[in-house]
A = this chain, B = another copy of it.
């Protein structure tokens, strides 16, 4: 049995910009990936609306800073074979970070947290890491989201290239979710059901490869 942890934000949780609710379980990308990989792999979804890589946000009843919660989540699902990190979209909010460069620094810290984690077991085997760049933001007529993510269309367009470089440098896998999915103009940030599912399908080959399946 292999275990895959999906650490993400609302794109992983499955926020639906149309209903302002949550996509059906079978439409969320971790579920699609689970189905594709079959019963010998356990895919665990840890998606939190508003989660950033490494930046504080006190606007909700939870801790959105990805660096503070990750160690606890790693322990809860240990042993883990692969950690997929799909974060960066919320870093585009200028009040929190606002630059692709800042998101890359936050992603690097998350990689460091996985690599240096003090695991429960002393096993030599440690999880591989797959960095996933979120699909770039797009223009939207939703003024609240446009304000909240001002400048995000330009900055998020750089994420894939910068994350790919980071993955190379750190020996991580890389996947560009923007190669298979695009954000909805309803709010410029989120994914409809079809585009959410596409990420699960798109990830299958590289996840199989990284798990040695």
Residues of A within 8 A of B (CB): 1, 13, 20-22, 24-25, 42, 46-49, 54-56, 58-63, 65, 67-69, 71-72, 74-76, 78-79, 94-95, 97-99, 101-102, 105-106, 108-109, 112-113, 115-118, 120-121, 144, 147-148
Q: Which residues of B contact A58 (CB under 8 A)?
A: 54-56, 65, 67-68, 106, 109
Q: Are B71 and A61 in contact (CB under 8 A)?
A: yes
Q: Are B118 and A112 in contact (CB under 8 A)?
A: yes
CB distance from A164 to the nearest CB of B (A): 15
Q: Are A60 and B13 in contact (CB under 8 A)?
A: no
Contact of A72 among B62, B102, B105 (CB under 8 A): B62
Q: How far is the CA of A110 from the CA of B49 in the complex (A)?
A: 19
CB distance from A176 to the nearest CB of B (A): 21
User: Provided the pairs A1-B25, A98-B95, A116-B116 are in contact, do residues A61 and B75 lie with their beta carbons within 8 angstroms?
Assistant: yes
Copy number in the complex reads: 6
Contact of A48 among B25, B67, B76 (CB under 8 A): B76
Q: Are B48 and A116 in contact (CB under 8 A)?
A: no
Return 30 A-B CB contacts under 8 Å, by A number.
A21-B121, A22-B78, A22-B79, A46-B76, A48-B72, A48-B76, A54-B58, A55-B58, A56-B56, A58-B67, A58-B68, A60-B109, A60-B118, A61-B71, A61-B75, A61-B112, A62-B71, A62-B72, A62-B75, A63-B68, A63-B71, A63-B72, A69-B69, A94-B99, A95-B97, A95-B98, A95-B99, A101-B148, A116-B116, A116-B118
The residue among A25, A102, A106, A112 with the most chain B CB atoms within 10 A of its own CB is: A102
Q: Which residues of B contact A47 (CB under 8 A)?
A: 76
User: Provided the pairs A69-B72, A76-B13 are in contact, do residues A101 and B147 lie with their beta carbons within 8 angstroms?
Assistant: yes
